[in-house]
Structure 1
């Protein structure tokens, strides 16, 4: 069953979301939000279907495989896929993560720094709020993969090339 859920997670990650959305210059922000939400739904569907098919262990494994597939196989938002997977594993951590992301984004004005702060806060609160050690280990693993994907942004930040978000 775990092999079936692994194949299912890779198959769902290969769905070409950017080809389904037309990026129009006037509605670019709306397109980005829809793109992000669809990537989040992909992570949610993968983890929930794995839970329904084979239980919690398969859901943990499918969440990790989905983020790995998002990094290496497709061009999608790894942060959104990890958020969708975390929504199934521990829904309260999504609220904590969203608040941490928005607060740190308003303070720092850098997307990647907000991502790092969100991963740190979700990992710390996950240690307190998660029901099982496997949930916390999965969330920490997802967070490390998201941080590894964002390392090019950190290099640009050190060189002074990373752009701030203007409000």
Structure 2
């Protein structure tokens, strides 16, 4: 493209931008004036709208008072109906948690040829021995256990530290 062609193109861009800018500038004023006219509503218009839609307006204080009485009624009904059920549910739940605490989860992990440490970590996480497989895998790598993992079946249990688990699978 020649120098004259570039100059003509630039002049066209300037003219087009000026026309669009002028249009935007003049049309924006008309829209804001129209919106300002619609925003100003009288109190009578609001009341007419509400009554035509079978609605009513109340003050904020009245609204808060209604909410407070409704919440009080709901809590009264809840306390009348559930105290007996809650106490039996709570005692059953505590018994179950005590039994779970006493129960030790044991798992026999089998490491086969070709398994990566992340696969072993995932197995331990799936069987609730550890909570975060990525964290255990990073521990194995940082402490150079990832190169010492042995093939075979190893017995592990929930509550073992990462060091204990690593030593168990590297024997």
- TM-score (norm. length: structure 1): 0.23
Give the number of the structure whose residues are more often helix, by fraction. Answer: 1
